[in-house]
Amino acid sequence: MIERLANVLKSLVLFTLIGPLVGYLVVAGAVLVGRPHEDATLFQFLFLALFAYPIGAAPAALTGLIASFMALRLKGEHFYVGVGLVGGGVTALFASGVGSPSEASWTDLGLAFVPGLAGGAVCAWIFQWPDRSGQSGTPGKRTPGKT
């Protein structure tokens, strides 16, 4: 019971701290790719960074909570993809709640889905990273190379 609670808290902290950062890097990369001929100013990136955690922390925490329970059943690539999809979906749901839900377009939801997908998948990968004893950080204590 204590180990289970520790894994839930570990996933909440990990996803809340790392998820918005990964989402920010995805959005900042998209800004750079989308404006190759314009100078991206430091102000633009600082402006994006300012909103990374206030906007991304709640979806990341909810994704981490869901991921801690998904870790009981899924391992490896299935876990990464599943948590990535959950992260994208949760982020899109939070994005649809900003402003008027009737005004949310599929493009807006898709733009919110991609950073959530990347953040969820990266955090899931870190969450299942084996420690020095070769044991995974998730329940079940799988060893690397075994599913």
Give the DSSP letter of residue 41.
P
> Which pLDDT score is estimated for 111?
86
Average model confidence (pLDDT) for the chain? 82
> Which pLDDT score is estimated for 126?
93
- Cα distance between residue 126 and residue 114, in whole Å: 18
Model confidence at 92: pLDDT above 60: yes
- Ordered alpha helix ranges (H), 35-132: 42-70, 76-96, 106-127
Ranges of each domain in the chain: 2-127
Reported confidence tier of residue 85, pLDDT bands at 50, 70, 90: very high
> Which pLDDT score is estimated for 64?
94
Share of the chain above pLDDT 70, in %: 78
What pLDDT digit, counting tens, does each position of 10-69 carry?
A: 999 999 999 999 999 998 888 777 776 666 677 777 888 888 898 899 999 999 999 999
- Cα distance between residue 21 and residue 44, in whole Å: 16
**Which tokens in the block code for residue 57?**
């922390």
- Cα distance between residue 77 and residue 15, in whole Å: 18
Which residue is it, tokens 């044991």?
A: 135
More reliable by pLDDT, 105 or 69: 69
Nearest by Cα to 116 from 43, 16, 1, 22: 22
> Which pLDDT score is estimated for 40?
62
